[in-house]
Structure 1
Amino acid sequence: MRRLLLISNSTLHGSGYLDHCKDQIKSFLTDKVKTVLFVPYALHDRDQYASIARTAYNSIGFNLESIHEKPNAVDAVRQAEAIFIGGGNTFRLLKTLYDENIVDEIRKRVFEDSMPYIGSSAGSNVATVSINTTNDMPIVYPPSFKALGLVPFNINAHYQDPDPNSKHMGETREQRINQYHEYEDSPSVLGIREGCILHVEGDKATLKGVTNARLFEREKEPVEYDSGSDMSFLLKV
């Protein structure tokens, strides 16, 4: 049974790193998990990133080990009690997951062993079908845009609504997602705003957090969903 906690952002305005979702993380991991394996591949300075993440997890009673400090990434995933993949650049993150040969290993641990998976921002993006709907720049090139496939849809983390007072004439986030859906076989895209969380337990998915989400499906009008909404229908292929 897959267990996922997909968070839009690591830092909410006015609070510290993971402060807005620490209660959700603690409840999600339960007492069965003592140590979390952190994947800092989305940022360049992995040591500093690991230090920040370790402080946050220690504050809620969990040990944290970073995969980049391990001699072998595959073995680290195979031995992990739970995994947390942090935010940063999604292209850099996915490329490194492929480089370290752990895409299939993570997927296997989640589906076969029910290893808890926590993603934030880029870490949530790579949990989906592909990274085609990320907001990031392609600063590096992964061998494929195909991601972990832990859910059968895509996510747009940090989703932003159009600002009616803005003088910016470029495409809105909604317009860019609609452009993606101009192509056949493009999966649904869940736009999760800052402070929004998707909690998946097996075949049940629930929106949590302090903000709502906006669902985009090909050739359909977008639909708003409030925090607390049952999103299990998204998990049906």
Structure 2
Amino acid sequence: MEDNLLLLSNSKTHNMGYLAHAREALLDFLDGHRTIYFAPYAAAKTAYDSYTATIQEAFKANDFDVKVIGLHTVDQPAMTLREAEVLFVGGGNSFRLLKTLQQLDVLNVVRERVTGGELRYMGSSAGTNMSCPTLRTTNDMPIVQPTSFASFGLIPFQINPHYQDPVVGSTHMGETREDRILEFLEENDVPVVGLREGSWLRKRGAHLTLDGLTAARIFRRHTEPQEYQPGSDLSWLLTLHATFDQNR
């Protein structure tokens, strides 16, 4: 069995409903599966129920005959994930998400079952960031402190969700998203996919494709950033050796 991942830059695209931009990709990803466990841990605890309800309504609005269960409502999340077939990890703050996943002790079980082809993994924003080896290319403030930056490691490269290009004519004097990623590459030799709004990555075993509404920008150390259009085969990213600062 091969692993099966759908990694969205975002859940909601401008002028479209939740998940509407990726409806066809979701149909293909779910492939008839009717139960999804949703991890709302990137949100505040007080928002778990409402966040889950939003996702439930999104699938209903897009005419999906699926049951969405908040992972926070089960007594033993790790045990539940040993039997689950589809996991959706939502967006929010990546640091809070990773810290909670560590506290629940679910990182290893998810990693083992996804890479073994037994659990389909869908992420959006922070959830997509969790599929990477570390959360180091998140856009978020470290509002809490995880025990380490190591995340699920379902792919061997990094993603920067919600990637934004510099705004021509802007008077903003701070660093651009590109500046931040280039700083990351000074310390870590690993590709970074700048995943713009409305785009996603689809992984099936050794095959990786870029799809969606917009192009992606891929950064590598000592190489000019390159643009890739929707439909591009990015399987080569899965074969590259990544080197992180050892104190990750």
TM-score range, shorter chain: over 0.9
Q: Which among 199, 205, 208 is matched to residue 208 of structure 2?
A: 205
Give aligned pairs, total. Answer: 235
| Residue 186 of structure 1: how far off its partner (Å) | 3.0
CA RMSD of aligned residues (A): 0.9
2:56 matched residue in structure 1:
54
Matches within 5 A, 1:180-195: 180-183=184-187, 185-195=188-198
Unaligned runs of 5+ residues in structure 2 are 241-248
Per-residue Cα deviation, 1:192-235 (whole angstroms, up to 9, x for no partner):
00001100000000000000100000111100000000000001
SS at match of 1:181: helix
Instruction: Render the CA deviation track for 1:119-154: whole Å, top value 9, x for unaligned.
Output: 000000000011111000000011111111000000
Tell me if structure 2 keeps the 8 A contact 1:162–1:172. yes
C-alpha displacement of 1:189: 0.4
1:29-51 Cα offsets, whole Å, 9 max, x none, are 111x1100100000011000000
Contact 2:9 2:162 (8 Å CA) reproduced: yes
Does residue 73 of structure 1 match 2:77? yes
Please say if residues 34 and 81 of structure 1, whose CA atoms lie closer than 8 Å, have aligned partners that are also in contact.
no
Equivalent positions of 1:96-135 (< 5 A) are 96-135=100-139
Runs of 4+ in 1 over 4 A off after TM superposition: none
The residue aligned with 2:35 is 35
TM-score (norm 2): 0.93
**Are 2:228 and 1:232 equivalent residues in the alignment?**
no
For 1:79 and 1:233, the matched residues in 2 are separated by 32
TM-aligned CA deviation for residue 113 of structure 1 = 3.5
Query: Contact 1:195–1:211 (CA<8 Å) still a contact in 2?
Result: yes
Matched, 1:143 2:144: no
User: Which secondary structure does the structure 2 equivalent of 1:222 belong to?
Assistant: strand
The 5-angstrom pairing of residues 6-17 of structure 1 reads: 6-17=7-18
CA separation in 1, counterparts of 2:185 and 2:28? 35
For 1:160 and 1:115, the matched residues in 2 are separated by: 31
**Distance in 2 (alpha carbons) for counterparts of 1:27 and 1:235:** 21
Name the SS for the 2:224 alignment partner: coil
Matched, 1:154 2:158: yes
TM-score, structure 1 as length reference: 0.97
Separation in structure 2 between the aligned mates of residue 140 and residue 38 of structure 1, nearest angstrom: 22
Alpha-carbon shift at residue 114 of structure 1 (Å): 3.3
Confirm whether residue 219 of structure 1 aligns to residue 218 of structure 2.
no
2:85–2:118 contact (8 Å) kept in structure 1: no
What SS is found at the alignment partner of 2:218?
A: strand
